Amino acid sequence: MIKTKSVAIQCPQCGSTDFEVPDNVQDDDIATCHFCGLEMPLHELREVGLEQAKDVVIPEAKKAIEEALKNIFKRK
Binding site residues, Zn ion, CB under 5 A? 11, 13-14, 16, 33, 35-36, 38
The least distance separating Zn ion from the CB of residue 60, rounded to whole angstroms, comes to 25
Contacts of 45 (CB under 8 A, 6+ apart): 4, 9, 19, 31
Cα separation, 70 vs 66, whole angstroms: 6
Question: Coil, strand or helix: which one is 8?
Answer: coil
The least distance separating Zn ion from the CB of residue 13, rounded to whole angstroms, comes to 4
Nearer to Zn ion, 31 or 33 (CB): 33
Nearer to Zn ion, 14 or 69 (CB): 14
CB-CB contact of 35 with 14 (8 Å): yes
Nearer to Zn ion, 17 or 25 (CB): 17
